[in-house]
Amino acid sequence: MKNNQYDAKTFAVRLKAMMEYMNKEVKRSRLAEQMHKHFAATAIPKSIHCLSLRLTDEYSSNANARKQLPPPELLPVLSDNSYYHFILASDNVLAASVVVSSAVRSASKPEKIIFHVITDKKTYPAMHSWFALNPLSPAIIEVKGVHQFDWLTRENVPILEALESHHGVRNHYHGDHIRGANVTDNPRVFASRLQSRSPKYISLLNHLRIYLPELFPKLNKVVFLDDDVVIQRDLSPLWDINLYGKVNGAVENL
């Protein structure tokens, strides 16, 4: 009887140890899955990277790729409040193209649409080339780099100094939040922490929405669009919404 009790107790101990080991392995696999998904989502596919390089080369060699956007005769409408003004801040040429083209094609009055596309200095030649060589008439497209806004200085935007510190950004993105991950971490919490550390969220382009009144002081109302959306219906009714004196409105995250 004692031997049977001893064997049962030993088996229970071993089973518990095995279950704990398997549980740790499952958690480790989930953390690895979240990390791989994160890097896959934030990486730039080779084809898209090559597209940007080809467009940049086009900007330097093709006069049509460098033509002014919009043409000089249309510059006055960039501050005309009778138009529907959309603002898009992105360093992803393909994503920006999808947002702009889907909005224009879904519009009931595309001739009243003006897109102000803002990108960083590195992507500006490629972004300009794309919209110069692929016009979406009758909509009006303006492409500007952050370096072309005189207002965006360290004095007016204190976060610029931190964002321009490449060493700090690398530490923030590749720091201990990844190296220190262990099996006791909750996979969902870990995924959220990874997401919050993405370069996208420590990019000036992501902060521009805060400064829209300063960047476009003559416009009474604008719609800011993220670069991960596809427009499937006419957005002009947004200009008829009464905000009752509120500064901004936003879509609720569900």
Q: For 16-75, how does the pLDDT look when each residue is reduced to its tens digit (9 = 90+)?
A: 888 888 888 887 777 777 666 666 655 666 566 688 889 999 999 999 999 999 999 999
Domain co-membership, 56 together with 92: yes
Whether pTM exceeds 0.85: no
The answer to whether residues 206 and 84 belong to one domain is yes
Q: What is the pLDDT of residues 128-164, one digit of tens each?
A: 999 999 999 999 999 999 999 988 887 877 777 666 6
| Residues 19 and 136 grouped into a single domain | no
Taking alpha carbons only, the member of 215, 94, 100 closest to residue 153 is: 215
Q: Collapsing DSSP states into helix, strand and coil, what is residue 123?
A: coil
Residue numbers of the domain that contains 144: 46-239
Residue that the structure tokens 């940049």 belong to: 56
Which pLDDT tens digit goes with each residue over 176-205? 445 445 545 565 665 566 555 555 556 788
Residues 91 and 149 in one domain: yes
Q: Residue 88: inside a domain, yes or no?
A: yes
25 and 129: one domain?
A: no
Residue-level pLDDT at 33 = 74
Q: In the chain, where does DSSP find H-type helix?
A: 2-42, 46-61, 93-106, 124-133, 159-163, 166-173, 176-179, 187-196, 204-207, 212-215
